[in-house]
Structure 1
Amino acid sequence: MSKKLFFVLSIFLVASFVMSACGSATPTPATAATINVCMVTDSGGIGDKSFNDLTWSGVERGIADFGVSGNYLQSTQPTDFAPNLTACKDSGAQLIVCVGFMMADDCKKAATENPEIYYAGVDMGGFELANFRGVSAKMEESSYLAGYLAAGMSTTGKVGWYVGIMGPAVQIFGDGYYYGVQKYNEVHGTTVAVIGYDANNPGNATATGSWIDADKGRTVGQSQMDEGVDIILPVNGGVGSATAAVMQEKGLGYIFGVDQDWTQTYPQYSAQILASLLKKVDVHIYDAIERLTTNTWEGGDFVLTLDNGGTALAYNSAITIPDDLKTEIEGLQAQIISGEIVIPAPKPIQ
């Protein structure tokens, strides 16, 4: 080795050491060929036909378009989160994806302790860490439209709502739905009631207590239908499809799909699916991978809205919805985007 080359390498190594010792605001960028993405699911897991699958589809698109590699670790209970995040780190992942608001504390802890690794979270944010990108979704916006639609389509004057486990990320679905129904009542002089959720008392919301137990979806759906409910919005991942099955068996009732277009993920229940509330978290994950491969990473949160297409109400074309009702909903959407309609802030869950 020449003295000149040795001198250059020495300078480089000293500079690298100094930079490492001083620390950095963000981890060191890697080339696409060396980037490994490791995703940790929540308890719903891959195959939930909801936000775990949708998040993984964002990773798969990143693999296809940018040449990164990727894998996932399945969680079956909250105690799996921390060990799975550690396993992702130990595998040499440059980007770790945390799925579900119940993982927020574990994900924030991991990102804080490992500033050299990038993290992207789904249903979590506000960490203010340079190596973390979160996502929030104004699901109250599309849920408001769903509530208005449900009130306009109900023949019994009762619409239902339930959740898996209550928390801020899912509360906004209930708020939007509730206020959308109230708006319909105000416009049309009706008294459509929401069973299972009251925005003034969110802590008393109907919850199954599980993201995976389909039997609970059947039980809650049946119970609400017994109360006279004919349209239900289940914010419960794949568990909600069990309510669609009950409706199919009875030959009555409509359900809303959540996160993905259920006419595609649950085509067997197409006759029961009135519309779907899209929550395009895959866009956020794809964006995080693109930023990593193009050295444009910035810490912060990606916000999904009606305005940027991150959330939307997708009608089922197989169901006849009156044109005048669709026109009213289009008007409401424009008013939400413009700020003319402001959905009240969530009340504390007590």
Structure 2
Amino acid sequence: MTISVRKAAAAGIAGLGVIALLAGCGQAPTKPAEGGAADSKFLPCIVSDSGGFDDKSFNQSSFEGLTEAAKKLGVKYKDVQSDKDDDYAPNMTSLVDQNCSIIFSVGFKLSDATKVAATANPKTHFVTLDDNQVDLPNVKHMIYDTAEASFLAGYTAASYSKTGVVGTFGGMQLPTVTIFMDGFADGVKYFNEQKGKDVQVRGWNVDTQNGSFTGDFAANDTAKQVAAGLIEQNVDVIMPVGGPVFQSAITAIKDSKKDVAMIGVDADLYETAPADKDLYLTSVLKQMKSGTDDIVTQAGKGKFDATAYIGTLENNGVGLAPFHDFASKVDPKLQDELDTIKKGIIDGSIVVKSPSSPKK
């Protein structure tokens, strides 16, 4: 049973803080923990950012993880969707007032609201997804070193490209976005070094940390125009980073009538947005569903652990989705090359580092 709360009277939210890098690392689960008896009063809750729980991305993945865990535990849950930034503080307050045992806040935009609520309610457990700004003993961080998986995606894009030009763009210029773009561009660079090629990257410059952004995470005309601008530069593989903005990129690809492939982020778009599955070369994965499921299940058994959790290639917290319909279109040697690169990243012989990478 789910009870959605859209509005509640409460104080407004303060401005967003500066994202800090995280110290410490927890082991990412490889599969959800088995269900079992939970305290009958245990109530897991989740609040989305303005992307909503149907964003086909990280809000949806974390929501699915929480609901599946609640079902296994045999408990109810509460979800509250934020339609705009002004909803964060009142939505968080509404969940606290309903005596939630653990509250998941999805995305950095909820940082201030989470900090206020966690400070005032030290006996309530909080989990921040894709955010590590709140340093309190009752707050667990879930973040991901997506530069590692994006490195594989960049190598893939460069290998597949026929025009020799690939591109990426983001929603807002924040560490949780640019970490993808850094890894992508560095993966293209590594391909060029290994193959003696000169595949170009449009939309992001690692050295200057400048690139193309839409200004928010909405699927709108601005996002469409940014994607169209890259396609006009002969880009034939594009990686939009920022939740729903990929939907606008799909429209731009279709309008262009060009042969452009897309790389998704956060979730496997082939599974979460199958209507356009013929466009997806692959996706950079953050295993938010299984991670959320595991944390809820353990908390329901009285085993909440505030140790930070960083997803990496080594612990399967991040990864690259299958090529699906593109399996017959990519270089037959590509998967073996990616497997070798992955091993190199894990053993340290290939260094993947973004200015936004979390400290391990």
TM exceeding 0.5: yes
Q: What is residue 341 of structure 1 aligned with on the other side?
A: 350
Determine if the alignment matches structure 1 residue 94 to structure 2 residue 101.
yes
| SS of alignment partner, residue 228 of structure 1 | coil
Q: Distance in 1 between matches of 2:270 and 2:140?
A: 31
2:315 to 291, 308, 315: 308
Q: CA offsets per residue over residues 300-343 of structure 1, 9 Å max, x none?
A: 21111111211111122211211212211111011011111111
Determine if the alignment matches structure 1 residue 83 to structure 2 residue 77.
no
Determine if the alignment matches structure 1 residue 223 to structure 2 residue 229.
yes
Q: Which has the higher contact order (CA 8 A, sep 6+)?
A: 2
* Structure of larger gyration radius: 1
Determine if the alignment matches structure 1 residue 244 to structure 2 residue 250.
yes
Q: What is residue 68 of structure 2 aligned with on the other side?
A: 61
Q: What is residue 34 of structure 1 aligned with on the other side?
A: 41
Q: TM-score, normalised by structure 1?
A: 0.86
Deviates more, 1:242-251 or 1:39-48: 242-251
| SS of alignment partner, residue 318 of structure 1 | helix
Q: Does the Cα contact within 8 Å between 2:143 and 2:311 map onto a contact in 1?
A: yes
Q: Does the Cα contact within 8 Å between 2:138 and 2:306 map onto a contact in 1?
A: yes
Q: What is residue 299 of structure 1 aligned with on the other side?
A: 306
Give the letter for the 1:332 counterpart. Answer: I
Determine if the alignment matches structure 1 residue 283 to structure 2 residue 286.
no
| SS of alignment partner, residue 244 of structure 2 | helix
Deviates more, 1:50-59 or 1:293-302: 293-302
Q: Distance in 1 between matches of 2:284 and 2:150?
A: 7
* CA deviation after TM superposition for structure 1 residue 130, in Å: 2.5
| SS of alignment partner, residue 50 of structure 2 | coil
Q: Does the Cα contact within 8 Å between 1:244 and 1:254 map onto a contact in 2?
A: no
Assess, with a 3 A threshold, how the Cα gap between structure 1 residues 215 and 73 changes in structure 2: closer, same or farther: same
* CA deviation after TM superposition for structure 1 residue 31, in Å: 4.8
Counterpart mapping for 1:158-197 below 5 A: 158-197=165-204
Give the letter for the 2:291 counterpart. Answer: H
Q: Distance in 1 between matches of 2:63 and 2:171?
A: 21
| SS of alignment partner, residue 323 of structure 1 | coil
Q: What is residue 332 of structure 1 aligned with on the other side?
A: 341
| SS of alignment partner, residue 47 of structure 1 | coil
Counterpart mapping for 1:202-221 below 5 A: 202=209, 204-221=210-227
Give the letter for the 1:132 counterpart. Answer: V
Q: Distance in 1 between matches of 2:166 and 2:298?
A: 42
Q: Does the Cα contact within 8 Å between 1:128 and 1:299 map onto a contact in 2?
A: no
Q: Distance in 2 between matches of 1:128 and 1:79?
A: 23
| SS of alignment partner, residue 352 of structure 2 | coil
CA RMSD of aligned residues (A): 1.8
Counterpart mapping for 1:140-159 below 5 A: 140-159=147-166
Q: Does the Cα contact within 8 Å between 1:126 and 1:301 map onto a contact in 2?
A: no
Give the letter for the 1:72 counterpart. Answer: D
Gaps of 5+ in 1: 1-29
Q: CA offsets per residue over residues 169-189 of structure 1, 9 Å max, x none?
A: 111101100110110111111
| SS of alignment partner, residue 33 of structure 1 | coil
| SS of alignment partner, residue 321 of structure 2 | strand
Q: Does the Cα contact within 8 Å between 1:248 and 1:269 map onto a contact in 2?
A: no
Counterpart mapping for 1:259-274 below 5 A: 259-274=266-281
Q: CA offsets per residue over residues 69-124 of structure 1, 9 Å max, x none?
A: 11211112222211111111011111111010122232123212210111011001
Gaps of 5+ in 2: 1-36
Query: Where has structure 1 moved over 4 Å in runs of 4 or more?
Result: none
* CA deviation after TM superposition for structure 1 residue 247, in Å: 2.2
Determine if the alignment matches structure 1 residue 137 to structure 2 residue 137.
no
Q: CA offsets per residue over residues 256-280 of structure 1, 9 Å max, x none?
A: 1111111112222122110011111
* CA deviation after TM superposition for structure 1 residue 126, in Å: 6.0
Count of residue pairs the alignment pairs up = 318
Q: What is residue 255 of structure 1 aligned with on the other side?
A: 262
Q: Does the Cα contact within 8 Å between 2:153 and 2:284 map onto a contact in 1?
A: yes
Q: TM-score, normalised by structure 2?
A: 0.84
Q: Distance in 2 between matches of 1:52 and 1:112?
A: 24
Q: Give identity over the alignment, percent.
A: 32
Determine if the alignment matches structure 1 residue 317 to structure 2 residue 324.
yes
Deviates more, 1:37-46 or 1:283-292: 283-292
Q: Does the Cα contact within 8 Å between 1:164 and 1:210 map onto a contact in 2?
A: yes
Deviates more, 1:136-145 or 1:61-70: 61-70
Q: Does the Cα contact within 8 Å between 1:129 and 1:300 map onto a contact in 2?
A: no
Give the letter for the 1:333 counterpart. Answer: K
